[in-house]
Amino acid sequence: MVVIMKPGATAAQIGAVIAKAEKLGCQTHPIYGEARTVVALVGDLTQITREPFDALDGVAKTVRIQEPYKLSSRSARPENTIIELANGQVVFGGPEIIVMAGPCSVESRQQIIETAIAVKEAGAKVLRGGAFKPRTSPYSFQGHGLKGLEYLAEAREITGLPIITEVMTVQTVPMVAEYTDILQIGARNMQNYGLLQAVGKTNKPVMLKRGMSGTIKEWLMCAEYILSNGNSNVMLCERGIRTYETATRNTFDLNAVPFIKETSHLPVVADPSHGTGLRELVPAMAKASVAAGADALILEVHPDPDKAVSDGRQSLTPAMFEQLMRDLRRVAVAVDRYIGEAPVNIDAADVLERVRG
Amino acid sequence: MVVIMKPGATAAQIGAVIAKAEKLGCQTHPIYGEARTVVALVGDLTQITREPFDALDGVAKTVRIQEPYKLSSRSARPENTIIELANGQVVFGGPEIIVMAGPCSVESRQQIIETAIAVKEAGAKVLRGGAFKPRTSPYSFQGHGLKGLEYLAEAREITGLPIITEVMTVQTVPMVAEYTDILQIGARNMQNYGLLQAVGKTNKPVMLKRGMSGTIKEWLMCAEYILSNGNSNVMLCERGIRTYETATRNTFDLNAVPFIKETSHLPVVADPSHGTGLRELVPAMAKASVAAGADALILEVHPDPDKAVSDGRQSLTPAMFEQLMRDLRRVAVAVDRYIGEAPVNIDAADVLERVRG
Amino acid sequence: MVVIMKPGATAAQIGAVIAKAEKLGCQTHPIYGEARTVVALVGDLTQITREPFDALDGVAKTVRIQEPYKLSSRSARPENTIIELANGQVVFGGPEIIVMAGPCSVESRQQIIETAIAVKEAGAKVLRGGAFKPRTSPYSFQGHGLKGLEYLAEAREITGLPIITEVMTVQTVPMVAEYTDILQIGARNMQNYGLLQAVGKTNKPVMLKRGMSGTIKEWLMCAEYILSNGNSNVMLCERGIRTYETATRNTFDLNAVPFIKETSHLPVVADPSHGTGLRELVPAMAKASVAAGADALILEVHPDPDKAVSDGRQSLTPAMFEQLMRDLRRVAVAVDRYIGEAPVNIDAADVLERVRG
Amino acid sequence: MVVIMKPGATAAQIGAVIAKAEKLGCQTHPIYGEARTVVALVGDLTQITREPFDALDGVAKTVRIQEPYKLSSRSARPENTIIELANGQVVFGGPEIIVMAGPCSVESRQQIIETAIAVKEAGAKVLRGGAFKPRTSPYSFQGHGLKGLEYLAEAREITGLPIITEVMTVQTVPMVAEYTDILQIGARNMQNYGLLQAVGKTNKPVMLKRGMSGTIKEWLMCAEYILSNGNSNVMLCERGIRTYETATRNTFDLNAVPFIKETSHLPVVADPSHGTGLRELVPAMAKASVAAGADALILEVHPDPDKAVSDGRQSLTPAMFEQLMRDLRRVAVAVDRYIGEAPVNIDAADVLERVRG
C-alpha cells in the first residue's frame, strides 16, 4: 500500500501514518518529494485495508497494490478450476465449451420437458429454468417455486441433462440444493452476503452472476465470500452491466471474459440473452463470447417465445438455437476449443406424446 | 399501453397483438399510420406487463403509460406519509427536517454512547450506527452483531434518541426489529426481495436505501414490495449512485429528492456522507439536500474519524457536526422548513465519566 | 508518481523503469516489498505522464500523485478568480451569486427582447440565448446565427444586461466574440481542443460546460487549454452528466460544485435546467445549487415555453422565474451570499409596445 | 409519434396538443382511456420533433416511433454500403474483413515506415497513425502535424498501404484530406458538428468513432450529418464507451456491432485496442469482434511499445500482431468471412536498411 500525503502535510501527520502502519505490523518507507511525501507500506498487507489511512488528516489518497482477493486469484492458484457434473460428462473449465439452455421461467411441466428435449437434441449439456424468479414488481409472476423444481427434476430424469436454477433466499437454499445440480445466484443478489455464505456452505457448484453495477473486482470479492466458506466450485457469469445505453437491455461487457481468465482460475460463463436483451443479437454475441474465451454459455430458449411469461423478447426458438449451436461449433474450433456434438439417437417422440397428452 | 409495430408488420401480426390484448381483458385501438401501425390498449392495465407484447413477432416496442407502482404513488395517495417515532417527538414527512447521525459502525460501548451524546447535544433526533455491516471483503470487520444492538439500546436509554440500524438477512429481522426503532435496508439489498417482504411484515418503520445502480422507478417498486406486505411506514434514502466519475465516492443524485416528492407520498432522506464519500464535501451537500426538499438527513459522525474502522474518510467530527447543524437550521428556514433547536440542559458529564470509566 | 511492478517482475524490468525515469530527469526510490517492488519517482513531474511507464514490461500500474493541472489548481493560486463584466456591475467569484437567464434559442427579435426585460425585472444580471445551436439532428433548427447575435445585442442595449451565447466553431469565434460578453463552450465541445485554443486567445470571459461524460479532472484539463493560451477568465458550468438514470434528462452532479471550489480557484456555475430537464424540478435544484456553493446560476426562461422551438420542457415561465428569484435570495443569505435585488423602476411598457409593434 | 397526457389533463390541454399537431400537418387520433388520454399523430413526421409537444401543459411524455435518421438507416437503403480504396484492392462492407494497423502516433519517419512494413507483412490492408493527436493535457505531445502526414505518405508509397489518420479541426480538413485515404473523426469530436459538416463536403471516406458517452442513436445521427452533406462513404467505429468499470480503459460495447448491422447499411469497424486499453486483452477481443460481425478492425501496433509516446499499454508488438492475424483468419472463416492472406514476397530488408540508415 502507498499512502500519499497532501502537499504541505505536517511532520506530525506523516508521523501518524507511520505510527498507524507500524501498529498494524507493516514496515514503512517514507519518501520525501519536493511537493509531497509518500509513505510506502511493506509486509503482509492482506488483512490491511485502505480505510484507516484514508481517514487520517493530511492524507490525500491511498493506493492498494496487492489485490484483496486471495482464493479466487490466479496468482494464488495458477491452474484452472475444473467443475464436473454428471459423473464427469459435463466439465467446466476444460477445452469443451459447455452450453446451458432453457426457458427463463419454468412455466409448466410440458413447457420445460419439451424445451429440455429440444435443447438436448441441439447439443446443450445443462438445462436452465427459473422456479423462483426475482421480479421488479411484486405484482408480477414470481415463479412456480417447489412445483417448478419438481418439473425441472422430471425433465432431468427424461433427458439426462443436469439442471441449473436460481436460489434467492437463505431459507430456500436447502430445498433448491436438493433438486438442482448448479445453484445460480442472480445479478440482484451478487452482494447478498448472507446468501453467498449459505451457498458457500453447500457442496453444490455455484454460478455467480455479475451485479448490474458490479465491478469485476467486487464480483471476485463476492466469489471470495463463497470460496472462503468452503465451496470451491464457483463459476462467474457475465450477463451485461447497466450503462447509459438503452438501445440494448444491458451493455454486455465481454472484456470481463479475458480479464477474468487472466486474473482468476474460475470458469467464466457468458449470458448473451441478458447481455443483449434482443433475440436478433443473441447469435452474434454468443459467437463473440466463444471467441473471447468463455468456458460456457447460458442461453434462453423457449418453445414459443411469443407466449413466454418472462424474457420472451430475448428468447431463441428451438430452431434458432439449433442453427446457433452449429455455428458456435465452428467458432469454438477456430479458437482451439470445441462444443460436443449433438446426440444422434434421441427418440423423443414417445416422451413428448405422453407429456403433451 | 401502446404497442408499436415494425414498419411492414403484417395484418396477422397486428391481429395477434389485438388478440393477446383482448384475451388479457383490454380494449384495443389500432391506428394505421403511413409507415407503421400502433395499437393502443385501454382499460385496467395495472396487472398487465409489457413482456407478452414485446415478445410478439412484428412488434417494434411497447410503451407503458400507467406507472406500475400503486401504493407508493402520489396519485394513489396525495397527502404525505407521516412517520412518527418516540411518541410523536420525531416526525418524518412534516415541516421539521429530521437529522439522524452517528458512526458508520458501532465499534464499542464507549464510542457509541459518546457519539450519541455529542449528536444529541448538536440537535440530532435519531442515532445511527451499524451492528451488522455489509462489507465488500469477507475478510473485513463485519460488525459486532447482537452486542452492537445492545450498545445502541443503551445509548438510546441514556439519550432518549431513537435508533436506526441496518438489517441484512431475513433471519435477523426479528432480532434487529426488537432493538431498533427504524430498520435500514442497505443499498446492496435494495432488490433483495425476500428481505423486503420480511421487513414488510414487521410494524417497524423502514428506511430503504437506493441501490448503487437502482433507477428511481425500480426503487419505488422495491418500496412497493414493503408496502404491499402491509407496512406503510417506508422512507426512501438517496445515498448516491454509481457512475463513471471517481473523484467522489458516489454521484449524489439530488434530482431524486424533488422527483420523488412529486411522484410519491413517502418521506425522502438524503445521505451526503455516502453521497460524496469525502468529509470536506459533506457540509455543502447537506445544505443542498435541505434546499432540494429532503425530509431528513442521515450523517456519519465519529468522535475520532482517524480511528474509525469504516468510512472514516466521510465521517464528520462532533465539532464539524455541531457547526453544520447551525448552518442547516438557517437553510431550512430559507425553504420554509425547520430543524429543531438543540436541547439546552444536557448534563452529559456524569454519563461520560461512567462510560469512559 | 509511483510505478508498481507486477509480482515477479525481474531485476531487468525494474532497472528499465529506473532508467526511463532517470532519463526523464526524475530521482527514483525503489522499494522492495515481499510480494512486489514499487518505484517512487521524485522531482518536478509536471511534464511527465504515466504512459511511458504504463507501457513497460513488468509494470502492473502507475499512480500519478501530483495533479496534472497547473493554472486551474487552487494550490497554484489560492485566491478566487474574479471575473468582472459591465464595468464591474457583474462580478463572478465574489459574494454575490449571479443569475443568468433567458431562452434556449433566440427565436425572434420580439422573443429575446421580451425575455430580456422579464428576466431583468426579476433580478437576472446576464441574458442567455443561443444563436448557434448544436442539435442532435442535422434536420433540426440550428439557430438564427448572425441574426440571432444582432437580436441579442439589441436586447442588451435596451436592458443593459450583458449577454452569454454559445460559440461552436473556430471560424465563428471572432464573430461571436464581437457580439457577446461571455463565450459559452457547450457540453459537446468540452474536448474540442481547437475551439478551446481559439477562445483562449480572445480576451472574452469563457464559460466552459462540462461534457456529458467528462470527469471533473478532464474538465479542469480543458480549462487548462484555455488558460494556457492566455485567457484567465474561465468559469466552469456543471450541467448534469450522463448516467443510467432516465427519469431525468441528466444526472445533476452537484458534488462537482464543492469539489471544484476546493480544487480550483475558478468560478463555478450551475445549470439546473439541463441538470434536470424538467421544469418542475428546476426550482428545487436551483436552490440546492446555491446551497452547495455555486457562484452563479444559468436558467432557461421562455415567455411561452409551450411554443419554444427547443428545451421548452425545461424552461421556466417568467412568473415562475420571478418567484424562484425571491426564493433564491433567501437561500443565498442562509449561506452568507446574496443575490442582488431586482431593479425597482423599469419602464418596459414602451419598449415592449414598440417591439411587439 | 404518440403524445401521452397526464392523468386529469383537461379538454383544453388535449385540444392544444391536437391543434399544434394539425398546425404541423399531422392527422391526430385521440384515444380516451380510463386513466389517461393518448393522442397518436399520423402522417409524415420526419421533420417533427418531440420538443414542441413535451413542452405543452398536461403532457406526461411523448414517444417517437419513426426513427429520426434517414440516410443511415437500413430501411432507407437495404443493401450494404461498400467503400473501396486503392482501386478496389481494399473493400469495406463486403465479405473480406479489413484489418487496419499501426501506431497510435506517428513518432518518426523510421518508426512509421518500420511499422508499415511489419503490419503489411502480417496482412494488414490499411496503415493507421496519428499526425494530429487530441490529448487530455495541453502539455502533452500533440503530434507531428504536417510532418507526420508526410511520413505517412512516404510509408504508403513504400508499402502500397492506404492510410487512415485523424482530422481534428475544420481548418485542417483540406490538408489532411490531401494526404490521407480515410479521414478519422475521433471520439471526442463525434458531436463536433462543424467538423462533421466539413468532412461531409469532401470526397474522402470517413471513419466516425463513437463518442465516449454517445448512444448508438446519437452516433447514427452524427453519421447523418456527414451523409446529408453529400459524402456517402461513412463507416462507424466502436471503440468502447465510458462506464463505471475501471478495470479496463473503456467498456467495449460489442453489442453495437450486430445492432448497427441490423439498423444501418454502413460498415462497422471495431477497435479492441481502445476498447480494452490492455494489450493482453486485445487478441481475445479482436477475435470476438470478428465473431460479432465487424467489417473491419483497427489495431494499435508499435515496433517497441515500451518506447511509445502514447497508448503503449494497449499496443501490440509486431510479433503479437502477426500471431493474431493468423488466429483471426480462422475465426473469420468460421463466420463465413475471410481475411486476405499476407503477401508472400515482400523484400523489406533494403527499405529498412535505408530508413534505419
Range of the domain at A329: 83-353
- The size of chain A, in residues, is 357
Q: How confident is the model at residue C4, as a pLDDT?
A: 85
Cross-strand bridge partners of residue D297: D99, D270
- Count CB pairs under 8 A between chains B and C: 127
Rounded CA-CA distance B340/D113 in Å is 75
- Residues C153-178 have pLDDT tens digits of 999 999 999 999 999 999 999 999 99
Lowest mean pLDDT of A218-222, C202-206, C270-274, C352-356, name the range. Answer: C352-356
D53 within domain boundaries: yes
Burial of D294 (0-12, 13-18, 19+ CB in 10 A): buried
Q: How confident is the model at residue A75, as a pLDDT?
A: 82
Q: Are strands A98-102 and A296-300 parallel, antiparallel or unpaired?
A: parallel
Predicted TM-score (pTM) above 0.80: yes
C274 within domain boundaries: yes
- Residues D225-249 have pLDDT tens digits of 999 999 999 999 999 999 999 999 9
DSSP-derived secondary structure for A246-309 = -SSSSB--TTHHHHHHHHB-S-EEE-HHHHH--GGGHHHHHHHHHHHT-SEEEEEB-S-GGG-S
Q: C245, C246, C276, C326: best mutation site toward chain B, by most B Cβ within 10 Å?
A: C245
In D, which residues are within 8 Å of A236 by CB distance?
A: none
Residues C55 and C167 in one domain: no
In A, which residues are within 8 Å of D246 by CB distance?
A: 215
Q: How confident is the model at residue C317, as a pLDDT?
A: 96
Cα–Cα distances in angstroms (integers) from residue B210 to residues B215, B218, B301, in the given order: 8, 9, 21
pLDDT surpasses 80 at C259? yes
Residues B164 and B292 in one domain: yes
Contact, B180 vs B202, CB < 8 A?
no
In C, which residues are within 8 Å of D138 by CB distance?
A: 193, 221, 224-225, 228
Residue of B nearest to D243 (CA): B244
Residue of A nearest to D324 (CA): A335
Average confidence (pLDDT) over B79-88: 95
Residues D203 and D328 in one domain: yes
Q: How confident is the model at residue A311, as a pLDDT?
A: 82
Residue D91: CB atoms within 10 Å:
17
pLDDT band at B217 (very low <50, low <70, confident <90, very high): very high
In A, which residues are within 8 Å of C246 by CB distance?
A: 246
Option in C68, C191, C309 nearest D134 (CB) = C191
Q: At what angle do helices A256-263 and A282-292 cross, to 10 degrees?
A: 20
Q: How confident is the model at residue A126, as a pLDDT?
A: 98
Option in D56, D193, D312 nearest C54 (CB) = D312
pLDDT band at D136 (very low <50, low <70, confident <90, very high): confident
Average confidence (pLDDT) over C184-204: 97
B71 within domain boundaries: no
pLDDT surpasses 80 at C117? yes
* Residue C297: all three cell numbers together: 446560476
Q: D315 CA to chain C: closest CA distance, Å?
A: 8
Contact D258 A213 (CB under 8 A): no
Contact A245 D216 (CB under 8 A): yes
Residues A290 and A199 in one domain: yes
pLDDT surpasses 80 at A356? no
* Residue A163: all three cell numbers together: 439442471
Option in A257, A276, A334 nearest D333 (CB) = A334
Average confidence (pLDDT) over D12-17: 90
C68 within domain boundaries: no
pLDDT band at C70 (very low <50, low <70, confident <90, very high): confident
Option in B215, B254, B261 nearest C288 (CB) = B254
A75 within domain boundaries: no
pLDDT surpasses 70 at B66? no
Residues B27 and B112 in one domain: no
Residues A93 and A51 in one domain: no
- Count CB pairs under 8 A between chains C and D: 124
Of B12, B28, B63, the last residue of a domain is B63
Cross-strand bridge partners of residue D282: none
Residues B244 and B283 in one domain: yes
Average confidence (pLDDT) over B110-117: 96
Q: C5, C6, C38, C44: best mutation site toward chain A, by most A Cβ within 10 Å?
A: C38
Residues D48 and D97 in one domain: no
C69 within domain boundaries: no
Residue B151: CATH number of its domain? 3.20.20.70
How many distinct structural domains can be found in chain A? 2
- Residues D303-315 have pLDDT tens digits of 988 888 888 889 9
Contact B243 C243 (CB under 8 A): yes
- Residues A147-170 have pLDDT tens digits of 999 999 999 999 999 999 999 999
Contact B139 A228 (CB under 8 A): yes
CA B71 to chain centre: 16
Average confidence (pLDDT) over A287-315: 92
Q: D238, D254, D323: best mutation site toward chain A, by most A Cβ within 10 Å?
A: D254
Residues B49 and B112 in one domain: no
A70 within domain boundaries: no
pLDDT surpasses 70 at D357? no
pLDDT surpasses 80 at C298? yes
D71 within domain boundaries: no
pLDDT band at C345 (very low <50, low <70, confident <90, very high): low
Contact A40 C42 (CB under 8 A): no
Q: B216, B245, B323, B339: best mutation site toward chain C, by most C Cβ within 10 Å?
A: B245
Q: How confident is the model at residue C352, as a pLDDT?
A: 75
Rounded CA-CA distance B149/B106 in Å is 8
Residues D49 and D138 in one domain: no
Contact B281 C258 (CB under 8 A): yes
Strands (E), D139-216: 163-166, 182-185, 206-209
Over pLDDT 90: what percentage of chain D? 68
Residue D30: CATH number of its domain? 3.30.70.1140
Residues B57 and B94 in one domain: no
Residue of C nearest to B337 (CA): C331
Contact B224 A171 (CB under 8 A): no
pLDDT surpasses 80 at A245? yes
Q: How confident is the model at residue D289, as a pLDDT?
A: 98
Rounded CA-CA distance D221/C138 in Å is 8
In B, which residues are within 8 Å of A278 by CB distance?
A: none
Per the prediction, chain C carries an average pLDDT of: 92
pLDDT band at B275 (very low <50, low <70, confident <90, very high): very high
Option in B215, B257, B291 nearest C245 (CB) = B215
- Residues D65-97 have pLDDT tens digits of 667 778 999 888 899 999 999 999 999 999 999
Residues C121 and C233 in one domain: yes
Q: How confident is the model at residue C257, as a pLDDT?
A: 98
Chain A residues within 8 Å of chain C (Cβ atoms) = 2, 4, 7, 29, 31-36, 38, 40, 42-44, 60, 63, 65-66, 75, 213, 242-244, 246
Helix (H, G, I), strand (E, B) or coil at C303: coil
